[in-house]
């Protein structure tokens, strides 16, 4: 169960995620992220309604971060406590820009 | 009580009867006492009015004569009424008091008004008939005719004078000095003894004859009334007996339907739930499920024509016949065909039953079914949406001999679900006479399609209840829901099956008896089944008070472990995983055991990833297991009998 809502504003793309970013749903987001155009300067993930994330989700975030490292910026916003802990134990707090 | 006993107890018993009433007539008696009291009060008021009119000189009667009887009468009515009210009309002997009091009061009035008020003598008799007791009516009649005889004698001397009875010698001249004519008659030297005699002969006797007829009629009324009450009482008893038998029948019918629903286990990787609510005490709907052999489960939902007792009787027969026709190795269409032929035998009332019969092959995860004129099933297959399955209908069972049925097959995937029902569901009516209908059924199912069968049926019941409101349930309402969680691997091929050892799954820290909430899910290890695993865990955690955050962490861990098994354990082939969830008895700690038959993999042998690397340097390998170790309290691994057994513990 994952709802992905995509909003494009010029060269900024925002993904609002709702549900769970787990093994079953991560491929959907991966598909999305792969299709990001090279002109995208900023990529925002809004986790306001995301319940939790598993390593499969982290993998997607990591590959998105790798893409954006080349062409712009990426940030993750509205991260809940559970997800924040996951980011902390996996060292993702150092890799991602979390606001 | 026998006659012999009766005579033995003799007079005392007879006398006591006066003060007791058969329970059957208790209500009659209280009502009659109430009526008598009302009559008494009304009579008292009438007496008071007469007294008032006479005092005001509108009635011109001799006050010295009428005052005493009127006042006595008023006092008497008042006393009797007060006694009756005080006793709440609920004493057997009040009837005697009332009858005597009435006779006394009216006899007095008759004494005053003589021939003008004689009709009052019928009141106590008619009133006594209300008790449906001939004894009382005979008593009332005797005492009234006696008292009225006395009042006639007294009245002929003191009451109003009946001038019709006066015969004076011819040539008698009367001179009045104003006042009443009777005084003038007496002044002529008229013989008072004659008038007394005439009163009895011409007044009392003709009236008594009429009174006698009224008594006969009252006796008849009393007897008929008595018969009626007795018959009604018999009928009430009969009704009560029928009702208690119906209640027993209802319980017997309810007992016939299986109401213990097995938890899903490794041998039975499915969940089933059903409910049946008859419109009357007993109904013609039924559901059934039973093991045909070790790997085949039979499922029935059926609806007998008609309702109530006839339908229930046919239902018991149909249920036994269908179950009896389901033998190992047979196909659903054959089961229905055989059941049909057996139901056609000795079925002169031409009852019939619609039925859907299915066989779940637990080893293959295959559901075969056939439909004998029953409602279309609703099915969720390989996704999250319930749709109507328009299967081919054969003729109803018991309708025609040698009918043929067509079977069909559904290959289930873990999470697939089938919902069956009887026509009471789509035809449930709202107060606006609208049917619940197929659309609402499917809509309700699709609100929470991933739920357990029990919840699915509870949701449907709730939806129907709120739709029908206070409308009485017209038809029996029955539902059956099956959810498949996976398939059992054939036991003869033990290499591929997960040997699920119950002891092995228990938490060693506690005795196995104290563990509660044990529940195992066995499903194909595929990434798309992860929702079933987390759903299974959430279900086990329900009501445990586990905080959302901890539940999410548990779900994350389950996701990591299960996806690991799905992606690597059987790669490149496919296999199964068992997920066992246990809560400790205080529901404060959860232990989840994942068992698979795949390649040996010890998560503790893998190095933890370097979490300090930058994004571009980072790979993702090993991160999942690392996360599990960090967010769970404890992780244990064991490789035993060719199985990977991984346990995670978390307290909350």
3-state secondary structure B10-60: HHHHHHHHHHCCCHHHHHHHHHHHHHHHHHHHHHHHHHHHHHHHHHCCCCC
| pLDDT for the residue B212 | 94
With cut-offs at 50, 70 and 90, classify the pLDDT of residue B9: low
Domain final residue, candidates B484, B516, B536? B484
Higher pLDDT, A94 or B242: B242
Residues of A in contact with B565 (CB under 8 A): none
Residue at B241 is within a domain: no
Q: Do B78 and B213 share a domain, yes or no?
A: yes
What are B468-495's pLDDT values in tens digits? Answer: 988 787 788 899 999 988 776 543 333 3
Residue at B573 is within a domain: yes
| pLDDT for the residue B4 | 47
Q: Do B213 and B326 share a domain, yes or no?
A: no
In DSSP terms, B435 is beta-bridged to B429
Q: Do B448 and B597 share a domain, yes or no?
A: no
Whether B612 sits inside 8 A of A66 (CB atoms) is: no
How far A80 CA sits from the closest chain B CA (Å)? 10
Out of B530, B615, B627, whose CB is closest to A86?
Answer: B627
Query: Is the pLDDT score of B202 beyond 70?
Result: yes
Average pLDDT of B529-541?
A: 83
Residue at B527 is within a domain: yes
Residues of A in contact with B530 (CB under 8 A): 22-24
Q: Cα B603 to the chain's mean position, in Å?
A: 58
Residues of B in contact with A62 (CB under 8 A): 615, 618, 620
Instruction: State yes or no: cis peptide before B572, omega within 30 of 0.
Output: yes
CATH code of the domain containing B288: 3.60.40.10
Backbone angles phi, psi at B302, to 5 degrees: -150, 160
| pLDDT for the residue B17 | 63
Query: Is the pLDDT score of B249 beyond 50?
Result: yes
| pLDDT for the residue B226 | 93
Q: Do B428 and B520 share a domain, yes or no?
A: no
How far is residue B85's CA from residue B104's CA, in Å, rounded to a whole number?
Answer: 20
Q: Do B200 and B58 share a domain, yes or no?
A: yes
With cut-offs at 50, 70 and 90, classify the pLDDT of residue B418: very high
Whether B556 sits inside 8 A of A89 (CB atoms) is: no
Could you tell me which chain B residue has the CA closest to the CA of A51?
B552
| pLDDT for the residue B541 | 83
Whether B612 sits inside 8 A of A91 (CB atoms) is: yes
| pLDDT for the residue B543 | 78
Whether B531 sits inside 8 A of A55 (CB atoms) is: no
CB distance from A53 to chain B under 8 Å? yes
| pLDDT for the residue B368 | 93
Residues of A in contact with B554 (CB under 8 A): none
Contact B574, B597 (CB under 8 A): no
| pLDDT for the residue B503 | 40
Task: Name the token pair of B403.
Answer: 């009918």
CATH code: domain A2-95 is: 3.30.750.24
How far A78 CA sits from the closest chain B CA (Å)? 16
Share of chain B above pLDDT 90, in %: 38
How far is residue A88's CA from residue B139's CA, in Å, rounded to a whole number?
Answer: 104
With cut-offs at 50, 70 and 90, classify the pLDDT of residue B263: confident
Whether A95 sits inside 8 A of B559 (CB atoms) is: no
Dihedral of the CA atoms B100, B102, B104, B109 (nearest 10)? -170
How far A89 CA sits from the closest chain B CA (Å)? 7
Higher pLDDT, B169 or B21: B169
Whether B530 sits inside 8 A of A24 (CB atoms) is: yes
Out of B534, B616, B624, whose CB is closest to A55?
Answer: B624
Average pLDDT of A54-77?
A: 88
Share of chain A above pLDDT 70, in %: 100
Helix or strand holding residue B477 (H, E) = strand B477-484
ipTM of the predicted structure?
0.86
Chain B residues near any Cβ of chain A (below 8 Å): 527-528, 530-531, 534, 549, 552-553, 555-556, 559-560, 562-563, 566, 611-616, 618, 620, 623-624, 626-627, 630-631
Instruction: Give the list of residues 6+ apart from residue B509 with CB closer than 8 angstroms, or none.
Output: none
With cut-offs at 50, 70 and 90, classify the pLDDT of residue B3: very low
Residues of A in contact with B528 (CB under 8 A): 24
Higher pLDDT, B410 or B505: B410
Out of A54, A66, A82, whose CB is closest to B560?
Answer: A54
Domain final residue, candidates B484, B518, B549? B484
How far is residue A97's CA from residue B2's CA, in Å, rounded to a whole number?
Answer: 101
With cut-offs at 50, 70 and 90, classify the pLDDT of residue B514: very low
Contact B508, B495 (CB under 8 A): no
Whether B555 sits inside 8 A of A22 (CB atoms) is: yes
Residue at B8 is within a domain: no
Collapsing DSSP states into helix, strand and coil, what is residue B154?
Answer: helix
CATH code of the domain containing B593: 3.30.565.10
Whether A23 sits inside 8 A of B556 (CB atoms) is: no
From B94-108, B264-278, B352-366, B637-651, the region with the lowest mean pLDDT: B264-278
Full domain range(s) for residue B571: 502-651
What are A82-92's pLDDT values in tens digits? Answer: 898 888 888 78
What are A16-28's pLDDT values in tens digits? Answer: 999 889 888 888 8
CB distance from A1 to chain B under 8 Å? yes
With cut-offs at 50, 70 and 90, classify the pLDDT of residue B620: low
For an interface test with A, the pick among B531, B555, B623 (most A C-beta atoms closer than 10 Å) comes out as B623
Q: Do B528 and B635 share a domain, yes or no?
A: yes
Whether B627 sits inside 8 A of A89 (CB atoms) is: yes
Q: Do B436 and B373 share a domain, yes or no?
A: yes
Average pLDDT of B390-413?
A: 87
Higher pLDDT, A58 or B339: B339
How far is residue B111's CA from residue B306's CA, in Å, rounded to a whole number?
Answer: 71
Could you tell me which chain A residue has the CA closest to the CA of B612?
A91
Residues of B in contact with A95 (CB under 8 A): 614-615, 618
Residue by residue, DSSP assigns A23-65 as TTTHHHHHHHHHT--TT--EEEEEEEEEEEE-HHHHHHHHHHH
Q: Do B195 and B277 share a domain, yes or no?
A: no
Q: Do B591 and B545 share a domain, yes or no?
A: yes
Domain final residue, candidates B452, B484, B516? B484
Whether B562 sits inside 8 A of A51 (CB atoms) is: no
Collapsing DSSP states into helix, strand and coil, what is residue B229?
Answer: helix
| pLDDT for the residue B506 | 38
Residue at B599 is within a domain: yes
Residue at B286 is within a domain: yes
How far is residue B22's CA from residue B240's CA, in Å, rounded to a whole number?
Answer: 19
Could you tell me which chain A residue has the CA closest to the CA of B556?
A54
Q: Do B537 and B397 share a domain, yes or no?
A: no
Selection from B76, B103, B89, B86 nearest residue B33 by Cα: B89
Could you tell me which chain A residue has the CA closest to the CA of B533?
A24
CB distance from A18 to chain B under 8 Å? no
Average pLDDT of B416-442?
A: 91
From B257-261, B318-322, B516-520, B616-620, the region with the lowest mean pLDDT: B516-520
Residues of B in contact with A52 (CB under 8 A): 552-553, 555-556
Out of B531, B556, B618, whose CB is closest to A54?
Answer: B556
How far is residue B164's CA from residue B156's CA, in Å, rounded to a whole number?
Answer: 12
Query: Is the pLDDT score of B496 beyond 90?
Result: no
Whether A82 sits inside 8 A of B563 (CB atoms) is: no
Q: How many domains does chain B have?
A: 3
Query: Is the pLDDT score of B532 beyond 80?
Result: yes
Q: Do B136 and B266 share a domain, yes or no?
A: no
Selection from B318, B266, B313, B314 nearest residue B287 by Cα: B318
CB distance from A81 to chain B under 8 Å? yes
Could you tell me which chain A residue has the CA closest to the CA of B558?
A54
Query: Is the pLDDT score of B498 beyond 70?
Result: no
Could you tell me which chain B residue has the CA closest to the CA of A88?
B611
Average pLDDT of B379-397?
A: 87
Residues of B in contact with A20 (CB under 8 A): 534, 555
For chain A, the first-to-last Cα distance in angstroms comes to 25
How far is residue B323's CA from residue B344's CA, in Å, rounded to a whole number?
Answer: 16
With cut-offs at 50, 70 and 90, classify the pLDDT of residue B87: very high
Whether A52 sits inside 8 A of B555 (CB atoms) is: yes
Q: Name the average pLDDT for chain A.
A: 88
Residue at B3 is within a domain: no
Could you tell me which chain A residue has the CA closest to the CA of B630?
A89
Domain positions in chain A are 2-95
Selection from B108, B229, B563, B587 nearest residue A20 by Cα: B563
How far is residue B580's CA from residue B591's CA, in Å, rounded to a whole number?
Answer: 8
Share of chain B above pLDDT 70, in %: 90
With cut-offs at 50, 70 and 90, classify the pLDDT of residue B155: confident
Whether A95 sits inside 8 A of B614 (CB atoms) is: yes
Could you tell me which chain B residue has the CA closest to the CA of A91?
B611
Residues of B in contact with A56 (CB under 8 A): 559, 563, 624
For an interface test with A, the pick among B524, B552, B553, B619 (most A C-beta atoms closer than 10 Å) comes out as B552
Q: Do B630 and B512 share a domain, yes or no?
A: yes
Out of A52, A58, A91, whose CB is closest to B552?
Answer: A52
How far B339 CA sits from the closest chain A CA (Å)? 44
Contact B111, B119 (CB under 8 A): no
Residues of A in contact with B559 (CB under 8 A): 22-23, 54, 56
| pLDDT for the residue B440 | 93
Residues of A in contact with B623 (CB under 8 A): 55, 58-59, 90
């Amino acid at each position: 169960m994952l709802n992905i809502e995509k909003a494009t504003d010029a060269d900024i793309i925002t993904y609002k995620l709702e549900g769970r970013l787990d093994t079953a749903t991560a491929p959907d987001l991966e598909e999305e992220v792969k299709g990001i155009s090279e002109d995208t300067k900023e990529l925002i993930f809004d986790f306001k309604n995301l319940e939790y994330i598993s390593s499969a989700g982290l993998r997607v975030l990591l590959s998105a971060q790798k893409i954006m490292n080349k062409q712009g910026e990426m940030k993750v916003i509205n991260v809940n406590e559970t997800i924040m802990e996951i980011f902390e134990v996996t060292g993702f707090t150092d890799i991602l820009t979390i606001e | 009580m026998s006659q012999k006993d009766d005579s033995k107890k003799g007079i005392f018993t007879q006398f006591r009867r006066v003060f007791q009433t058969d329970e059957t007539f208790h209500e009659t008696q209280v009502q009659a006492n109430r009526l008598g009291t009302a009559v008494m009060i009304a009579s008292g008021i009438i007496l008071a009015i007469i007294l008032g009119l006479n005092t005001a000189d509108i009635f011109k009667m001799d006050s010295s004569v009428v005052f005493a009887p009127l006042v006595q009468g008023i006092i008497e009515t008042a006393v009797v009424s007060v006694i009756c009210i005080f006793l709440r009309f609920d004493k057997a002997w009040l009837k005697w008091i009332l009858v005597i009091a009435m006779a006394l009061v009216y006899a007095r009035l008759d004494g005053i008004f003589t021939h003008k008020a004689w009709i009052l003598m019928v009141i106590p008799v008619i009133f006594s008939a209300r008790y449906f007791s001939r004894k009382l009516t005979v008593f009332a009649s005797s005492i009234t005719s006696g008292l009225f005889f006395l009042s006639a004698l007294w009245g002929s001397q003191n009451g109003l004078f009946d001038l019709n009875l006066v015969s004076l010698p011819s040539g008698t001249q009367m001179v009045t000095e104003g006042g009443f004519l009777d005084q003038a008659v007496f002044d002529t030297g008229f013989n008072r003894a004659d008038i007394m005699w005439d009163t009895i002969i011409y007044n009392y006797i003709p009236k008594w004859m009429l009174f006698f007829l009224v008594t006969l009629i009252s006796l008849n009324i009393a007897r008929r009334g008595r018969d009626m009450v007795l018959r009604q009482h018999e009928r009430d008893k009969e009704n009560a007996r029928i009702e208690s038998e119906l209640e027993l029948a209802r319980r017997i019918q309810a007992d016939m339907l299986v109401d213990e629903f097995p938890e899903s286990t490794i041998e039975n990787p499915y969940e089933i739930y059903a409910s049946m609510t008859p419109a009357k005490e007993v109904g013609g709907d039924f559901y059934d499920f039973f093991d045909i052999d070790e790997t085949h489960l039979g499922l029935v939902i059926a609806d007998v024509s008609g309702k109530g007792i006839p339908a229930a009787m046919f239902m018991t027969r149909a249920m036994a016949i269908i179950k009896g026709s389901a033998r190992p190795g047979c196909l659903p269409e054959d089961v229905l065909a055989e059941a049909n032929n057996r139901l056609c035998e000795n079925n002169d009332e031409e009852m019939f039953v619609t039925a859907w019969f299915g066989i779940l092959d637990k080893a293959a995860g295959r559901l075969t079914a056939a439909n004998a004129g029953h409602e279309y099933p609703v099915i969720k297959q390989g996704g999250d949406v319930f749709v109507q399955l328009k299967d081919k209908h054969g003729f109803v069972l018991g309708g025609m001999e040698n009918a043929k049925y067509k079977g069909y097959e559904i290959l289930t995937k873990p999470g697939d679900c089938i919902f069956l029902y009887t026509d009471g569901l789509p035809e449930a009516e709202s107060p606006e006479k609208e049917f619940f209908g197929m659309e609402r059924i499917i809509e309700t199912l699709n609100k929470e399609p991933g739920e357990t069968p029990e919840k699915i049926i509870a949701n449907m019941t709730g939806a129907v209840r709120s739709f029908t409101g206070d409308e009485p349930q017209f038809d029996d309402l029955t539902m059956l829901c099956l959810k498949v969680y996976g398939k059992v691997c054939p036991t003869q091929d033990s290499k591929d099956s997960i040997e699920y050892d119950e002891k092995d799954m228990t938490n060693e820290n506690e005795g196995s008896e104290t563990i509660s909430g044990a529940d195992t899910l066995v499903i194909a290890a595929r990434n798309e089944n992860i929702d079933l695993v987390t759903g299974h865990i959430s279900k086990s955690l329900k009501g445990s008070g586990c905080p959302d955050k901890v539940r999410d962490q548990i779900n994350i861990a389950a996701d990591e472990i299960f996806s690991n098994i799905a992606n690597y354990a059987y790669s490149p082939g496919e296999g199964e995983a068992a997920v066992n969830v246990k809560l400790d008895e205080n529901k404060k700690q959860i232990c989840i055991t994942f068992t698979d038959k795949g390649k040996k993999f010890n998560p503790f042998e893998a190095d933890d990833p370097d979490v300090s690397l930058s994004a571009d340097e980072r790979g993702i390998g090993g991160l999942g297991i690392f996360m599990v170790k960090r967010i769970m309290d404890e992780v244990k691994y064991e490789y035993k009998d060719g199985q990977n057994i991984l346990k995670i513990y978390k307290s909350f």
